[in-house]
Amino acid sequence: MITPQHSNALMILIPAYNEGGAIRRVVTEVRGLLPQIPVLVIDDCSTDDTRTEALAAGAGVISVPYHLGLGGCVQAGYRYAYDAGFSYVIRIDGDGQHDPQFIPTLFRTLRDSPVQMVIGSRYLQGKVPATSFARGVGIWFFRQILKLILEKEVHDPTSGFVGVNRQALEVFARSFPLEYPEIEALVVLQRRQFRFAEVPVVMRPRLAGVSTITALKSFYYVLHVLLGVVVNILKYEGKRRKG
């Protein structure tokens, strides 16, 4: 069972849904680079062999009994890490897009800077990676919105390559946006006057599978996240139940 071996322990969290084609390589790569760091995969009720592949690669696997979606899945990992006593969690995707070589950079920033969250940003390297027009417009739009709310630029607000410290972990273990959580999570942190930093990373093509984001879904994404941001700004936390 994954437990922290010392104070200030780091855990790698990988939410995965039908990532059977990539998860073994992702976990193996992380464990090869960082053998001392425990890797926890949250299997979001996959219908393929994600669970067995992740176990075979040496990860701890928590399987949720029904499909929760990305936010619910990530929150399960945050809950576990918080209860187990981890001080830091870095989340990477299960499709291989996030290069584990950048994990130490994220971790150092998280540990040594007065921030509660670190985002691996693909737009800080100078060379802007190719992305679809719809996604590009969406990212630009949310950058402007977040700049107004956070009073600080976020270069890659949709990045899922994210590290959090124990303070943020405590907040996210209790309350985490369910669908498309990245942008809303920033607003949740801002409401608690938490700080974040971005570090440059290089994203890779996914190892297996295809993106499920269509034009219609992109439109829904923008509407949903926009509403989520407004709701999070207006949310009254006093009556929130303990989850």
Partner 1 sequence: MDRLLNIVAGMSVLLIGLVFFAIRRAHIRVEYSVSWLSAALVMLVLSQWQWALRQVAEFLGVNNAPFALLLIILSLFLIVFFRFSVIISDLKDANIALTQKLAILEYQLQHVQEKHSPSRDA
Starting at the edge strand found earlier in the chain, the sheet holding 60-63 runs 60-63, 39-43, 10-16, 88-91, 162-165, 117-121, 196-200
The number of residues in the chain equals 243
Instruction: Give me the residues that bind partner 1 (CB under 8 A), please.
Output: 1, 42, 60-66, 68, 72, 75-76, 79-80, 83, 178, 241, 243
Read off the amino acid at residue 120: G
Q: How far is the CB of 242 from partner 1 (least distance, A)?
A: 9
Q: How far is the CB of 243 from partner 1 (least distance, A)?
A: 4
Q: How far is the CB of 221 from partner 1 (least distance, A)?
A: 20
Q: How far is the CB of 62 from partner 1 (least distance, A)?
A: 5
User: Measuring CA to CA, which residue among 200, 8, 198 is closest to residue 111?
Assistant: 8
Residue 52 or residue 105: which is nearer to partner 1 going by CB? 52
Please give the Cα distance from 172 to 174 (Å, whole number).
5
Residue 39 or residue 62: which is nearer to partner 1 going by CB? 62
Residue 64 or residue 150: which is nearer to partner 1 going by CB? 64
Read off the amino acid at residue 35: P
Which of the 8 DSSP states describes residue 203?
A: B
Residue 56 or residue 215: which is nearer to partner 1 going by CB? 56
